[in-house]
Chain A
Amino acid sequence: MTAPYLRIRNVTKRFGAFTALDDVSIDIQRGEFVCFLGPSGCGKTTLLRAISGLDVQTYGSVEQDGRDISALPPAQRDFGIVFQSYALFQNLTVAANIAYGLENRKRPKAEIQRRVAELLELIGLPDSGPKYPGQLSGGQQQRVALARALAVSPGLLLLDEPLSALDAKVRAHLRDEIKTLQRRLGVTTIMITHDQEEAIGMADRIVVMRDGRIEQIGAPLEIYHRPANLFVAEFIGAMNLVPATWIGPNAIRLGAARLTCEAESYAPGAAVRAAVRPEDIICTGRANGHANSFQAEVRELEFVGPFFWLSLGGGELGEHRLRAQLPSQRARELDLRARDTTHLHIPAQNIRLFPQGVGHG
């Protein structure tokens, strides 16, 4: 493995008695797109500001491309930054905004103009150079901010919730654009977001944070399918978390149902929490051909277009509740209605267990 482009080691940030970042270490490879994901107050912004030098950490080190930048002021680091608020200079034209960082580097005028035109092309606003930011839409302004940050070809691109101020449609569109642009330029990118869908859709790797600590680092699929702990399991995507009892080996009792699962061992009789994604609960109707199956009643049926939300309870589940996603097409085949009793199957590899009690929320 090559040396990481960005090495964050044991970074801690204190504000008085409050610890905003607690011993955080991350390696980021060159060209990688990494998302810092977490609820507000989790420390993701603090970490970004430490990397940029805008708020230097209390302890720990940051290395970029082999250079120790831990204590350097922002102007001596190599990064471009885009904020949620765009932070465009309203009194300068779009072209002047993009050229802002270039002008200071004493480049010839013609070269600056060429570069600005190139960037305007890149962000799909070739004719907006003479306009003022106030005359552009939010999405367009954010693209200009991106071009301004990229103009000086920084080694690291920092995106601080760049999409949060935009409405849903523009957001989805710009999400793809940023991702494409990043792939094309190959610039190492860190994006902060509290929106897990955004992180899953854009990042090569996600850093899930809570209370100033890292909960898990991994590729989107890994985070989604193998959450390291209860917090990640609950925070990413929809998740059923049901109390169960370990009856081992490789089996739990959930209500009256016995389900096998692939998990590390617990003491016999230990209380655990079973985590199951709603889409991993397979409805087999009257048929019961699977080993890992149980019977339950459909309490509610909610149609949301491509699938139904099923609320399951009773039967072998007893007082436990599960929510399952049933594809609309499958629902038609089964002709399922509320109050029906049905068989359900959960593949063993799709049940994850967490120790009971250390939970939260």
Chain B
Amino acid sequence: MAELALAAPRVRPRPGRDERLMGGALALVALYLIVTLLAPLLLMLAKSVQDRDGAWVGLANFSAYFGNPALSGAIGNSLWVSALSTLIVIALAFGYAYALHRSRIPFRGFFRLVALLPLLAPSLLPAIALVYLFGNQGALKGWLFGESIYGPIGIVIGSVFWTFPHALLILGAALATADARLYEASDSLGASRWRTFTTVTLSGARYGLIGAAFVVFTLIITDFGVPKVIGGPFNMLATDIYKQVVGQQNFQMGAVVSLLLLLPALLAFLVERWAQRRQVAGLSSRAVPYRPKPRRSRDLVALALAVAVAAMILGILGMAAFASLAKLWPYDLGLSLRHYDFSAADGGSWASYGNSLRLALYTALFGSLVVFVGAYLVEKSRVARPLRTAVHLLALIPMAVPGMVLGLAYIFFFNARGNPLNFLYGGMALLVLATIAHFYTVSHLTALTALKQLDPEFEAVSAALKTPFYRTFWRVTMPLCLPAILDIAMYLFINAMTTVSAVVFLYSPDTALASVAVLNMDDAGDTAPAAAMAMLIVVTCAGAKLLHLSLSRWLLHRTQAWRR
């Protein structure tokens, strides 16, 4: 074949205007992801093997960490608390998803709505509510039989609350799609209900279960809000990073703990990707959708479970709402809005709420743009395949990076002397960049899914008609993907409103955020204003969600002429 290569020179495709533009845009997206994601993370890895002055110390930081039981004890704590919480969440969420999708309980829409409510709240909210319920002056303190809520018990309950909807979404998807033929086959073979459940239902949902378990485990082990508020003296990895960095200014040790936190997140990420691929492959296009028939005993148990879980969720949310409105807990329970005037509180203000709103809007706007354009170039451009793969892989990284780790990496990178981007430090722009990077992966995958549903030959047709790709992007691709783009914007908005972990390292007095204010006010003992701010976030997110729903509906109505 060497002779052939000599005889006929390899054809080098000559790029046209489209190809050059796409290549350039792709390079820009790659650069964007390198600056806002890869470079900070790499720098953080480097910091873990340096001392305070930046000299190479090998694994000295690591041995110092493991030599100090006060520090390394957090590993065991984090592991068992996260594992226990995961177990509880998965069990509850599976039952709940089963009740929603495989039984005939009434008010399924309502139950679904309630279960998703925690998504609208920062993870700090359940912790604060728990303080009111079971704290030293708690309404239900007696229920704990003398045990303290400050510590593992509080962390577990709080974590279960805020990760529940995440597990439910995954398990719901796994249980919503079932092949009725399998159930008929099992019935006709005379299998008992239990046997059908274990061999058909459970086995059909097994990848969903695995995926959900790992996602929830990562969310909990990397969460900072719940253990910060209600953990008391109980050390967890995520709070340790905060303590090392904010408390002791020991950035190197913060980097060491960050690396430890990366490991479970990375593992969870890989397992989740694997499980998701399997889940999709499990259902053939010829499947007949399963519709549960009414069965009294099962439906009653399902209803009882759904009512209990929904009551707990509403109870915790209601407690937070009540705490924010009660004049002086627990002595004067008259209602007032005075905790919503944050001027007296230490660490919070309406300005921080305004900042959060701005952050959320900028993140939604700029983020959905960057993410969608990036995903479009990865999926649809015909140029530079290695670069496309690189951008896709970069886009997947944030899923495996805990917010605390990203925030710390940002400090290292953007606060470094000599970095021309140093001027961003402490500003709103950096918070926006950090938040987009933090929630990039899910947005990217959502955009990819939507783009993959379009005909793969649109771009070829467009090129054949001598129409520049950006015109087709604007006239065809964007309009067809608008619902997905709205979903992404919504996802980014809500997460920007509720997130604490990455931004807690990055805000300045001018750019204080509502979610961080919740944390700081709670820290300063102003628990009621903290609850008020948390409720403000919930209400804002709920409002945004309603707006999103009506916008989507309006869009669907307007475009129903061509949507089939």
Partners in one complex: yes
Which residues does A use to contact B, with CB under 8 Å?
10, 12, 23, 52-54, 56-61, 70-76, 79-81, 83, 85-92, 100-101, 104-105, 132-134, 148-149, 151-152, 154
Partner of A89, one of B18, B458, B468: B458
Chain A, residue nearest B460 (CB)? A54
Give the residue name and chain of the B residue nearest to A102 (CB).
B465
Q: When the two chains form their complex, are residues A91 and B476 in contact, meaning their CB atoms are under 8 A apart?
A: yes
- The 0/1 profile, CB within 8 Å of A marked 1, for residues 442-483 of chain B is 000000000000011110111111111001000110011000
Of the listed stretches B3-11, B316-324, B492-500, B513-521, name the one at the interface; the rest are far from the partner chain.
Answer: B3-11
Instruction: Known A90-B480, A91-B476; judge A83-B10 contact (CB<8 A).
Output: no
> Taking the nearest CB of chain B, how far is it from the CB of A293, in angstroms?
51
Q: Which of B381-402 contact A (CB under 8 A)?
A: 382
- CA separation between A58 and B9, bound complex, in Å? 9
Q: Could you tell me if A91 and B479 are in contact, using CB atoms closer than 8 angstroms?
A: yes
Asked whether B559 is an interface residue with its Cβ less than 8 Å from the other chain, the reply is yes
- Extra A-B contacts (19), CB below 8 Å, given A104-B467, A134-B562: A12-B4, A52-B460, A54-B463, A58-B10, A59-B10, A60-B8, A72-B14, A73-B18, A73-B19, A75-B18, A85-B457, A86-B455, A87-B457, A89-B458, A91-B559, A100-B467, A101-B464, A101-B465, A101-B466
A-B contacts, 8 of them at CB < 8 A, read A52-B464, A74-B16, A74-B463, A83-B460, A87-B458, A90-B480, A91-B479, A149-B461
Closest to B480 in A: A91
A75–B455 CA distance with the chains assembled, in angstroms: 19
Give the residue of B5, B559, B562 whose beta carbon is less than 8 angstroms from that of A133.
B562
Chain B residue nearest to A156 in the complex (CB): B464
Given the complex of chains A and B, what is the CA–CA distance between A59 and B10 in angstroms? 5
**B binding-site residues for A, Cβ under 8 Å:** 4-5, 8-19, 382, 455-458, 460-468, 471, 475-476, 479-480, 559, 561-564
Is the pair B562, A91 in contact by a Cβ cutoff of 8 Å?
yes
**Cα distance, A152 to B467, chains bound together (Å):** 11
Interface centre among A71, A72, A74, A100 (most CB of B within 10 A): A74
Pairwise interchain contact B480-A73, C-beta atoms closer than 8 A: no
Cβ of B160 to closest chain A Cβ, rounded Å:
43
Q: Which 9 residue pairs of A and B lie closest in terms of their CB atoms, listed nearest first?
A: A101-B465, A73-B16, A132-B562, A74-B463, A87-B457, A56-B13, A59-B8, A134-B564, A71-B14
Q: Which of A73, A148, A149, A151 has the most chain B CB atoms inside 10 A of its CB?
A: A73
User: In whole angstroms, how far apart are the Cα atoms of A101 and B467 in the complex?
Assistant: 6
The answer for the CA separation of A91 and B563 in the assembled complex, in Å, is 8
Set of chain A residues within 8 Å of B476, measured between Cβ atoms: 89, 91-92
Specify which chain B residues have a CB less than 8 angstroms from the CB of A61 in the assembled complex.
11
Instruction: Collect the chain A residues with CB atoms within 8 Å of residue B463's CB.
Output: 53-54, 73-75
Residues of B within 8 A of A91 (CB): 476, 479-480, 559, 562
**Contact indicator B11/A54 (Cβ below 8 Å):** no
- Nearest CB of chain B from residue A88's CB, rounded to whole Å: 8
Contact B561 A132 (CB under 8 A): yes
What distance in Å separates the Cβ of A231 from its nearest Cβ neighbour in chain B?
Answer: 24
Instruction: Say whether B457 contacts A83, CB under 8 Å.
Output: yes
With A and B bound together, what is the CA distance between A116 and B330 in angstroms?
76
A70-B11, A83-B457 given; A75·B563 CB < 8 A:
no
Give, as a whole number of angstroms, the nearest-CB distance from B503 to chain A.
38
Q: Within the complex, which residue of B11, B460, B468, B562 is in contact with A59, where a contact is CB–CB below 8 Å?
A: B11
Bound-state Cα–Cα, A59 to B559, Å: 46
Which of A73, A81, A134 is in CB contact (< 8 Å) with B563? Answer: A134
Contact A149 B464 (CB under 8 A): yes
Closest beta carbon of chain B to A86's beta carbon, Å: 8
Assembly CA distance A59 to B11 (angstroms):
5
A81 touches B13 (CB 8 A): no
Which residues of chain B are within 8 angstroms of A152 by Cβ–Cβ distance?
465-466
For B8, give its contact among A10, A54, A105 (CB under 8 Å).
A10
Rounded to whole angstroms, the CA-CA distance of A75 and B562 in the bound complex is: 28
Residue in A71, A75, A104, A133 whose Cβ sees the most chain B Cβ within 10 Å:
A75
CA of A141 to CA of B480, assembled, Å: 18
CA gap between A54 and B13 in the complex, in Å: 10
Q: Which of B11, B12, B456, B457 contacts A60 (CB 8 A)?
A: B11
Bound CA span A286–B561, Å: 69
Give CA–CA (A259, B1) in the complex, Å: 45
Given A59-B8, A105-B466, A72 and B16 contact (CB-CB distance below 8 Å):
yes
Report A297 CB to chain B, min CB distance, Å: 44
Chain A residue with Cβ nearest B457: A87
Instruction: Report the bound CA distance from A61 to B16 in whole Å.
Output: 18
- Which of A81, A88, A89, A92 is B464 in contact with, Cβ under 8 Å? A81
Residues A76 and B457 in contact in the complex (CB < 8 Å), given A56-B11, A91-B480, A91-B562? no
List chain B residues, Cβ under 8 A from A81. 457, 460-461, 464
A70 contact set on B, CB distance < 8 A? 11
- Closest chain A residue, CB of each to CB of B471: A104
Q: A72-B16, A87-B457, A91-B480 are in contact. Are A80 and B8 (CB under 8 A)?
A: no
**What residues of B have a CB within 8 angstroms of the CB of A134 in the complex?**
562-564
Nearest opposing residue in chain B for A54, CB measure: B460
- Assembled-state Cα–Cα distance A100/B13 (Å): 26
User: In the bound complex, what is the Cα–Cα distance between A154 and B464 (angstroms)?
Assistant: 9
Task: Closest A residue to B461 by CB, please name it.
Answer: A87
The answer on a CB contact under 8 Å between B465 and A71 is no
Distance between Cα atoms of A71 and B461 in the complex (Å) = 19
State whether A79 and B4 are in contact (beta carbons under 8 Å apart), knowing that A71-B14, A85-B455, A87-B455 are contacts in the complex: no
Task: Point out the residues of chain B lying under 8 angstroms from A76, CB to CB.
Answer: 16
| With A12-B4, A83-B460, A87-B457 as contacts: A92 and B465 at CB distance below 8 Å | no
CB distance from B221 to the nearest CB of A (A): 40
Q: B466 contacts which chain A residues (CB < 8 A)?
A: 75, 101, 104-105, 152
**Chain B residues in 8 Å Cβ range of A83:** 455, 457, 460-461
Identify B17's interface contact among A71, A75, A90, CB under 8 A. A75
Interchain CA distance A54-B12 in the complex, whole Å: 13
Contact of A71 with B457 at beta-carbon distance under 8 Å, contacts A90-B562, A91-B476, A101-B466 already known: no
Q: Return B276 CB to nearest CB of chain A, in Å.
A: 26
Q: Which residues of A contact B17 (CB under 8 A)?
A: 75
In this complex, what residue of A is CB-closest to B18? A75
B291 to chain A, nearest CB (A): 28
Chain B's closest residue to A61 (CB) is: B11
A76 smallest CB distance to B (angstroms)? 5
Assembly CA distance A52 to B463 (angstroms) = 10
Residues of A with C-beta under 8 A to B12: 71
Are A104 and B465 in contact, CB atoms less than 8 angstroms apart? yes
**Interchain CA distance A358-B16 in the complex, whole Å:** 46
Q: Which residues of A contact B564 (CB under 8 A)?
A: 90, 134
Determine how close the nearest CB of chain B comes to the CB of A303; give it in whole angstroms: 34
Closest to B559 in A: A91
CB distance from A190 to the nearest CB of B (A): 13
CB-CB under 8 A from A86, the residues of chain B are 455
With known contacts A54-B382, A90-B480, A91-B479, A80–B464 Cβ distance under 8 A = yes
A148 touches B465 (CB 8 A): yes
What separation, in Å, do the CA atoms of A59 and B9 have in the docked complex? 6
Chain A nearest CB: distance from B23 CB in Å? 11
Specify the chain A residue showing the minimal Cβ separation from B455.
Answer: A87
A39 to chain B, nearest CB (A): 22
Q: What CA separation (Å) do A105 and B4 show in the bound complex?
A: 42
A87 to B561 Cα, complex, angstroms: 18
Tell me the minimal C-beta distance from B552 to chain A in angstroms: 16
Across the interface, which residues of B come within 8 angstroms of A85, CB to CB? 455-457
Per the bound structure, the CA–CA distance linking A72 and B14 in Å amounts to 5
A177 to B16, CA, bound (A): 35
Q: Using Cβ atoms and an 8 Å threshold, which residues of chain A touch B471?
A: 104
Instruction: Report the Cα distance A216→B5, complex, angstroms.
Output: 25
Most interface-central of B16, B464, B468, B562 (chain A CB within 10 A): B464
Q: How far is the CA of A104 from the CA of B471 in the complex (A)?
A: 9
B21 to chain A, nearest CB (A): 11
Chain A residue numbers with a CB within 8 Å of B559 are: 91
Q: Which chain B residue lies CB-closest to A60?
A: B8
Determine the chain A residues whose CB is within 8 A of the CB of B475 once the complex forms. Answer: 89, 92
**In the bound complex, how far is the Cα of B8 from the Cα of A105, in angstroms?**
37
